[in-house]
Amino acid sequence: MSIGVFDSGYGGLTILQQLRKSLPERDFIYLGDNARAPYGSRSFDVVYEFTRQAVVRLFEMGCDLVILGCNTASAKALRTIQQNDLPLIDPTKRVLGVIRPTVEIIGNLTKSRHVGVVATEGTVRSESYELEIAKLHPDIKVTGQACPLWAAIVEAGEADSEGAEYFVRKRIHQLLERDPLIDAIILGCTHYPLLMNALRKAVPDGIRIVSQGEYVAASLVDYLHRHPEMDARCSRGGTMRYYTTEHPDRFKECARIFLHEDIMVEHIDL
C-alpha cells in the first residue's frame, strides 16, 4: 500500500520531497487536483467535497494512509473527513494534515510567544492555526497574514524575481506592523518554501522562518513508529507515481520548478 499525498496543486510537492527524504524506502502516490486549483478562495463546502473526492480516489488506488499536503484542505476539510467520512468508508484508513505537526512544534520555536502565519486567504480566514495553536499553546498570540499572490508567483517560475521580493517584503511588513513582537513566522502554504530567498531578505534577523515540510515528515515518521499496524501496511519499494486532473504536460512543466527533475505524470479524473 502506497502512502498518498494530495494537494490542490503543486505546493504539496514540497511536502512530498521531505517525506521521501525521511522515508526513501516507502512507496508514494501524489495526486494534484490542478484542474480545479486554487482552493484558497473557495468555500468550506466546496473544498471539503473536492478533498473528499481525492481522498476516496487515493483509497481506491491502494493508499490506506493519505497526507493532505495542502493547508487549505487541511484547514477546511480534514476534520470532517476524519470524523464523518472515515467511519463510513473504512475506519482502519487514516487521513493526516500539515497543520497539526507545525502547531505541535511551534511552542519550541518562539520565545516571545508571538507567532505570525503567512498563508492563502482561505487558510487565514479559517483561523485554523489560531484555533489549533490555542489548544496546545494557549499563551501564544497568533497573527495571520493573507498573501494572495505568492503561490501564483511561484507557479509562474518567478520566485527569485524582483517582483517576488516586492510582494514578499510588502506582506511581511504588514504582518510585523500588526505585531512587532513576532519572533517566528509559519509558512502556512506549501508553495512558500520556494520563496525562501525573498523571505530571508524581507524577514528581520532574529525572526525564525518555519517551513512545514521537515516537521510534517518528522511527524509521519513518528506516527508510523507509534502505529506499527499502519507501518506494516505501507509498502517499501521506493516507488513514486504522479497523477493530475490537469493535462500531464502542464503538470510536468510546473513540477520541475518544485522538484528540479523531470517526472512521468498520468491524467486522472475525480
Which cell numbers in the block locate residue 168?
A: 514578499
169, 110 contact by CB (below 8 A): no
199, 184 contact by CB (below 8 A): no
pLDDT band at 146 (very low <50, low <70, confident <90, very high): very high
Q: Which stretch of 110-114, 140-144, 147-151, 203-207 has the lowest confidence by average pLDDT? A: 147-151
**Catalytic residue list:** 70, 189
Tell me the pLDDT tens digit for each residue of 77-125: 999 999 999 999 999 999 999 999 999 999 999 999 999 999 988 889 8
Nearest to 48 by CA among 28, 78, 4, 5: 78
Which cell numbers in the block locate residue 85?
A: 467520512
- Look at residue 39 and tell me whether its pLDDT is greater than 90: no
Q: What is the pTM of this model?
A: 0.92
* Strand runs labelled E in the chain: 3-7, 28-32, 65-68, 94-96, 114-119, 141-146, 184-187, 208-210, 240-244, 265-267
Percent of the chain with pLDDT over 70: 100
Rounded CA gap, 107 and 115, in Å? Answer: 10
Rounded CA gap, 121 and 151, in Å? Answer: 11
Across the range 32-44, mean pLDDT stands at 89
Which cell numbers in the block locate residue 38?
A: 486554487
Rounded CA gap, 4 and 231, in Å? Answer: 14
129, 99 contact by CB (below 8 A): yes
Tell me the pLDDT tens digit for each residue of 221-260: 999 999 999 999 999 999 999 999 999 999 999 999 999 9
Rounded CA gap, 122 and 118, in Å? Answer: 11
206, 183 contact by CB (below 8 A): yes
Across the range 34-53, mean pLDDT stands at 92
CB burial of residue 129 (10 Å; 0-12, 13-18, 19+) = buried
Which cell numbers in the block locate residue 236?
A: 517499501
Across the range 143-148, mean pLDDT stands at 95
Which cell numbers in the block locate residue 94?
A: 487514516
Which cell numbers in the block locate residue 81?
A: 473527513
Quickly list DSSP for 18-78.
Answer: HHHHH-TTS-EEEEE-GGG---TTS-HHHHHHHHHHHHHHHHHTT-SEEEE--HHHHHHTH
Per-residue pLDDT, 200:
97
- Look at residue 42 and tell me whether its pLDDT is greater than 90: no
